[in-house]
Amino acid sequence: MPSFLKLEGIEKRFGTFTALKGVDLEIEQGEFVCFLGPSGCGKTTLLRIIAGLEAQSAGRIEQAGRDISRLPPSARDYGIVFQSYALFPNLTVADNVGYGLVNRKMPKFQVRQRVEELVRLVGLPGSEGKVPSQLSGGQQQRIALARALATAPGLLLLDEPLSALDAIVRVHLRQEIRSLQRTLGVTTIMVTHDQEEALSVADRIVVMNHGVIEQVGTPQQVYREPASPFVADFVGRVNVLSGQVDAAGHLRVGDAVLQFGLVQGQARPRGQDLKVYLRPEDVLAQPLPPGSAMPEAFEPGASNVLAARIDKIEFLGAYCLARVTSASLGEQGLTTVLSMNFLAEHGLSVGSALALRLLPDRIRCFEQ
Ligand code: ATP
């Protein structure tokens, strides 16, 4: 099946600065895609180019089989929601939502019906007569969403629509947007710099950095199989250790010899300095009372088992992040996830000894 939206070699220059360096991307019909990346990586510029609000310096855009590269915004088929609510402050909710329909000369009674349907869809039935200042930030974004969906566009563009809202409203509304998108089946692109937001709602995430796409993948792929150190660092927490692959092909970190997954992009290199990436939840921990052998909880003969001690415990509510150090790793620190129950059950605190197991197939290595 041909893709719904196809970007080919999109470049954008602002004077001498290149904001987008040849972006290629294909999006399927009905997909929810997030553009994720740090401030200034070019995600908003790319969204604005898709909307025709910014002209690309080079490249081609196709939507539903039609070349839209040079079409003005009004000739393209999308609805858009911006970060700041961008509702007309002096118009009622009904007039805001119905704006695009009136412009299209839809008969009045049909506009009224459609507006009623849309405000119900976004969970604000009965709000038609209010003005934006009578609504909370979250409610205003719901109305902005209803307005964007009014003409039943083929593409919904969301430019950081949740970032001005407080944390609880944000989490709630992102799930509502997701379920609304599923119900309507509208192809959606959301720009965000919030990795948790992207992981929780997207079918696929486009991770961007300095005007290029670093990785495109499902949330699971991006989190568990980051394609570059940047992606590993930007999405989720990660431990980074320095290691080398010795002549025999073993990974050495400090004095420890570790089993590990593949080095990105090549079979096991020899004699090379590597950056070793491992997420906190992939460092398993067991108590190690003084004088005792490595615990049996890690199956006998398990690889990558090390003795360590707790240096610091950061309480984060449901769980803790413990900073641990292991002499075997040449005193390089690691962060692991521990529950409060686990700490209490084993009487663990700063200074306590632990046995760690670094899950071999979760270790990812990149060349230095
Ligand atoms: P943010 O989350 O901060 O909005 P972003 O990833 O969306 O970041 P863009 O807004 O796309 O980033 O901007 C990408 C780069 O292009 C930035 O370095 C920005 O300064 C630059 N840029 C964007 N618009 C213009 C413009 N009109 N003129 C000059 N430079 C611009």
Same domain for 99 and 206? yes
Q: What is the pTM of this model?
A: 0.90
Nearest CA to ligand 1 atom 24: 45
Same domain for 124 and 168? yes
Indicate if ligand 1 lies below 6 Å from the C-beta of 19: yes
Using 50, 70 and 90 to split pLDDT, how confident is the model at 73? very high
* Number of structural domains found in the chain: 2
pLDDT, residue 60, reads 97
- In ligand 1, the atom with minimum distance to the C-alpha of 54 is 27
Considering 233, 253, 273, which residue would you say is the last residue of a domain? Answer: 233
What tokens appear for 86 in the block?
């961008």
Using 50, 70 and 90 to split pLDDT, how confident is the model at 297? low
Tokens 């995600």 correspond to what residue?
A: 43
Using 50, 70 and 90 to split pLDDT, how confident is the model at 267? low
**What's the CA-to-centroid distance between 220 and ligand 1, angstroms?**
28
Considering 199, 233, 267, which residue would you say is the last residue of a domain? Answer: 233
Same domain for 170 and 251? no
For residue 334, give its domain range. 237-367
**What's the CA-to-centroid distance between 255 and ligand 1, angstroms?**
45
Q: Please, where are the H alpha helices in the chain?
A: 43-51, 93-103, 108-121, 137-149, 167-184, 195-201, 219-224, 229-234, 340-345
**What's the CA-to-centroid distance between 344 and ligand 1, angstroms?**
48
**What's the CA-to-centroid distance between 46 and ligand 1, angstroms?**
10
Same domain for 280 and 266? yes
Q: Tens of pLDDT along 158-214?
A: 999 998 888 888 898 999 999 999 999 999 999 999 999 999 999 999 999 999 999
Considering 207, 233, 259, which residue would you say is the last residue of a domain? Answer: 233
Indicate if ligand 1 lies below 6 Å from the C-beta of 334: no
d(CA 334, CA 152): 50
d(CA 300, CA 1): 50
